[in-house]
Structure 1
Amino acid sequence: MITPSIPQSSLQRGLAAAVAAYVMWGLLPLYFRALHDVPPLELVGWRVLFTVPVCFAIVAMRRQGTEVRAALTDWRVLGQLVLSALLIGGNWLIYVIAINNGHVLATSLGYYINPMINVLIGTLFLDEKLTRVQWAAVALAGFGIALLLAGAVETLAVALSLAFTFAFYGLVRKKAPVESVPGLTVETLVLLAPALAIVSIAAAGPQGTSLAMGGNITPMLAGAGLATAVPLMLFAVAARSMPLSTLGFVQFLSPTIAFVLGLTVFGEKLDPARLACFALIWASIAIYSWDMLRRARTAAA
């Protein structure tokens, strides 16, 4: 991979942020499993509502209110953040629905595919170049995805939806000239009105909102703000500090954790089509990783 020159300090900061974000995301199925009784749309609404005060607190602590106001008054930047808000909001909803329906392996596959989508986006929009070996790895991953058409279309739909929404979210956030915390704050403000509408509709129903369930539901719904804001802010830092293709490489942490959870904690089974798809994806990751390491060693020699 031939990438633009980036300071070593920026790369190190981005790598640390990326690792932390992807480990947190890998463990999220356990969090949402505990919130299984909350309807997915309402859960996303509460995620947005409880993320807003977390963002405001961090903005106040870091004295970034001026940057938030600048993003809200710059129509070009605001337009970018509206788009990124819609992408991440859709990603959240797809993910929660998949977890609630027991498709943890499908979410794992989606985030295995996402790095390959990232390298293609980096090539098309960010002038990042792929070697022939890396193109072969992408082609192998594509063949693995195609196998799902033979017997796991539902898994394919979930995986591709997650992969594309998050890949384009990363692209938009990389291009938007706004720092991670102010950007996330504006994104949650964009989603605030629909989130309030969703929660209000739930409250008007015969059972009221999920906050009335008692037990651990209320604190866990409130904690969803931290569980949402912290890894997203870390991701935004990483996306602006390192090449998108390299960021995609680090993302293998998250689906690996989810894959193990799907097989163990959630007890999902691997049918032949999905097993073959995972095997080809892993092979493509191995080839891609080997080529990156080989080129790094050559450059250092």
Structure 2
Amino acid sequence: MTKKISLNDKYILKEGKIFLTGIQALVRLPIIQKDLDEKNDLNTGGFISGYKGSPLGGYDLELFRAKKYLDEKSIYHQPGLNEELGATAVWGSQQGEFKDRGNKDGVFGIWYGKGPGMDRTMDVFKHANAAGASKFGGVLAIAGDDHAAKSSTLPHQSDHNFMSAFMPYLYPSGVEEIVRFGLLGIAMSRYSGCWTGFKIVSDVADSGKRYDTEIERLPIIIPNSESLGEYKDLPRNILYEDTPRDQDYRLQRAKGFAAQEFVRANKIDRSIWKDSNSKMGYYSREILQ
């Protein structure tokens, strides 16, 4: 018997293989995050905001098309008037627990914007990352990079901005890694208290392939805090009462190192060729076909 195929499979199918583009994978990501939270007995919501721009130019349109499926999972998409207002709104999603009146354990946030839009959002990123992400929320900041300046006034890459804001960031190389790294990024944000950057380029956003949902069931390891040594007891998540000096101290002493421990535990960075006598190394994302 021939299996009936629907265009909606990309957002409702939980097992098997489906065809996904990079942009559609970014839309599927929060739906899968909500499913994982439910399996872990967490009652969470999602909030997505930002400003469109190539290579993420069609992301907001795809979110609108998937509104029915996002609403079913308590995931709300509100485009920003500009990039920094969108980021500020996402920052606010991490403060819901302070009001003690919500019906959610936490809200995971997703910001999106074109690389040059990230330039103008740096003040928000620095303050929000220093303040921290919530324990059951977490933030993924998706930056669309136009390396070749195909639709930008200058070539752009977001790596230096993420580093300047002391934000760990992930760089998926294909459709499956968008979902896998996205789930890891939100988990890392919750554990470390940092916002997690997410670098997307055109050949990833515009790509498409047969996607195996099995990757969504790979385990995510949450390390203990013992490796943080004397700073293991420092709070890493967002606090109601805080000072700039305390925020910076925790960011420098605990949160960044916690993100590194998460990366090691989940083997995100891998050495392909090892040689103890090497004097030079190459750093690159993997190219997935």
The TM tier, using the shorter chain, reads under 0.3
TM-score (norm 2): 0.24
Q: Higher Cα Rg: structure 1 or 2? A: 1
TM-score by length of 1: 0.24
Higher-helix-fraction structure: 1
Relative contact order (alpha carbons < 8 A, sep ≥ 6): 1 or 2 greater?
A: 1
**When you count strand as a share of all residues, which structure comes out higher?**
2
